[in-house]
Amino acid sequence: MKLPAISIPSTPLCLPQDTSPVRQSRCLVVTPMTFPMISDSARLCTSSQSIPILNPLHPPLVHKRTVSLETPAVHHHNHQRTLIMQRREHYRYHQVWRKPFYGTSSEREEYRKDLREQLMRQIEEKCVALKMQLSSKLKEAEYVCEVDRLALSSEREQRIQHSRAMTAYRDENKRLMEQRWRDKALTRSQEALKERQLLRLNPINWSGTLK
C-alpha cells in the first residue's frame, strides 16, 4: 500500500459579516503544510530509511504557531509512521528464524555456517578470557608471593635487630653490674684497711664499731 504525501492547500476562511457598522468582514488564511513522503511499507520493512515524527502543535515549514495547526493530517502521519515501524520490526523479527526452518537449502546451509562461526567465535573468546583470567591469577599469585617474601624478610631483619639490641642491652647491664660489684669490693677493702689502721693505733674499741 502506497501512501501519498499529505499536503493541505491554503484554504481561506471567511467569518460571517457583522451587520454593525463598527465591525468589518475579515478572512483568515490557513498556512500550507507539507509532510514527509511515506513510501510503500513493503519496501520500508527491508530498508533502514527513517521516518520523522511530527509535532502536532508545530508542523514543518510553519514558523508561527497558531491554534489551527493541530489537524488530523499530522496525527494520521504519526499513526502511519507507527504502523510502518511496527511492520518493519515484525518483518525483522520473523526474518531471523524464517531461514533455518522455511528457507532454501543454501539459506539453511548459510544459517548453519553462521551458527558454527558464532560458536567458534564464542569458543575463542572464552579461551581468550580463560587465558587472561589464568594470567591475571598467575600475576596475582606472584605478587602475593613477593609480598609474603618481603614481609618474611622484613620480619627476619626486625628479629635480628631486636636480638642485637637485646644483646647490647644485656652486655651493658652486665658491665654496669660488674663495675658496681668491683666498686663495692674496693670500698669494703678500703674500709677494712682503714679499720685495721685505726685498731693498730687504738687497740681498745670502746664503741664496738671497728672489726
Lowest average pLDDT, out of 16-30, 67-81, 119-133, goes to 16-30
Q: Which residue has the higher pLDDT, 9 or 73?
A: 73
Element (H, E) at 27: strand 27-29
**Is the pLDDT assigned to residue 178 strictly greater than 90?**
yes
Average pLDDT estimate for 5-17: 43
Using CA of residue 202, residue 207, residue 208, residue 211, what is the dihedral sign? negative
All 3 cell numbers of residue 199?
685498731
Considering the entire predicted model, what is its pTM?
0.38
pLDDT at position 47 is 60
Average pLDDT estimate for 164-184: 95
Q: Which residue has the higher pLDDT, 70 or 189?
A: 189
**Residue 70 identity (one-letter amino acid):** E
pLDDT at position 174 is 95
Average pLDDT estimate for 149-155: 95
All 3 cell numbers of residue 32?
500550507
**Is the pLDDT assigned to residue 12 strictly greater than 60?**
no
Question: By C-alpha distance, which of 14, 96, 82, 88 is closest to 47?
Answer: 88
When pLDDT is cut at 50, 70 and 90, the band that residue 51 belongs to is confident
Domain ranges of the chain: 7-102, 127-204+207-211
When pLDDT is cut at 50, 70 and 90, the band that residue 197 belongs to is confident
129 HSE (CA, 13 A, CB side): 6
**Is the pLDDT assigned to residue 79 strictly greater than 80?**
yes
Q: What is the pLDDT of residues 84-106, one digit of tens each?
A: 999 999 888 888 777 788 878 88
